[in-house]
A = this chain, B = another copy of it.
């Protein structure tokens, strides 16, 4: 068994990592940190884990952490992450960082959207942890920048189209909707049940969400040329799930079958991407609790646009599940290990 630690175990990503690790046959959870809940069993913070793990929340220094585990999931906010990760790497540890700190390859872009970067020297070696695009690099990496939830759903949704050059990148518009786990577990009025329940709203309208540069970075790689998009996030009254609806002008007269083939070519061997049957479309409730990204599309002949729908569980494929997937790859074990469960419906 490989020894694994979760740094920042008391958030929704933390508990989901712990849930998956409870049944992972190769990884053993040997440390879980939380300043707020230090001294308490993790199963007291998250009673769903009762009987599944005895691990205690602890307030550990990086030094102590290094003695306790070899593999690390950093599930702390950006800024906090970049203060921890370098030391872990220097001690020879493998790290999947779930924050944004090593996702943007351009330091200036990072500093424009976030803040000063304290360890830019590690950005270069960090691999963007989207296995469908970077599997081989991930296998060799010691630092993974685990993708954001919105970027995961959006990049996977349109990668085959951009790669093949069949859409006009300047026309890409992404209307995305996220469940409330995306807002984290911090106590705030805007995330209260009574504020979110039975309602729906947009936020960060007008191109101001921090996932935007990350999405554009990956789309630009696929497009082999800089891409600028419109991206509007919305808040759904559900716990888990992101559904992204992406619009783009088609540049050639392709049939549904032609496009289907592009998707099949790219994703057929992928364990966690499902192309839904023609004429049907993904729904967040059909990926709930799983590491799947479901993708469907339609061509609108009236406007010569393609509309792509992609759905993930934001705390599995959009966070904890993808992190485990990355760690599996880094450790050379079967990449689906611990992630085989079918989605929960209803």
Residues of A at the B interface (CB closer than 8 Å) are 12, 15, 19, 22-23, 44, 46-52, 173, 175, 177, 180-181, 185, 187-189, 191-203, 205-207, 228-230, 232, 234, 236-241, 243, 245, 247, 274, 276-277, 280-290, 292, 294, 296-303, 305, 307, 309, 311, 340-346
* Inter-subunit contact B239/A237 (CB<8 Å): no
Most interface-central of A52, A234, A299 (chain B CB within 10 A): A234
Given known pairs A23-B340, A230-B247, the reply for A236 and B239 (CB within 8 Å) is no
> Please, which residue of chain B has its CB at the minimum distance from the CB of A297?
B205
Instruction: Specify which of B51, B185, B195 is in contact with A274 (CB 8 Å cutoff).
Output: B51
Question: Cα distance A274–B44 when bound, in Å?
Answer: 13
Q: Are A346 and B12 in contact (CB-based, < 8 A)?
A: yes
Taken together, the copies of this chain in the complex come to: 4
B47 engages A276 (CB within 8 Å): yes
Which of B201, B228, B247, B346 is the one whose CB lies under 8 Å from A173?
A: B247
Residue pair B191, A185 in contact (C-beta under 8 Å): no
Q: Roughly how many angstroms separate A309 CA and B31 CA in the complex, as a whole number?
A: 32
Q: Name A309's closest neighbour in chain B (CB-CB).
A: B202
| Cβ–Cβ contact B203 & A281, under 8 A | yes
Provide the residues of chain B in CB contact with A187, threshold 8 Å.
187-189, 192
Sample of 20 A–B contacts (CB below 8 Å):
A22-B342, A46-B345, A47-B280, A47-B286, A47-B294, A173-B305, A175-B175, A181-B346, A191-B193, A198-B239, A198-B346, A199-B238, A199-B241, A199-B283, A200-B285, A201-B311, A206-B298, A207-B303, A229-B303, A230-B300
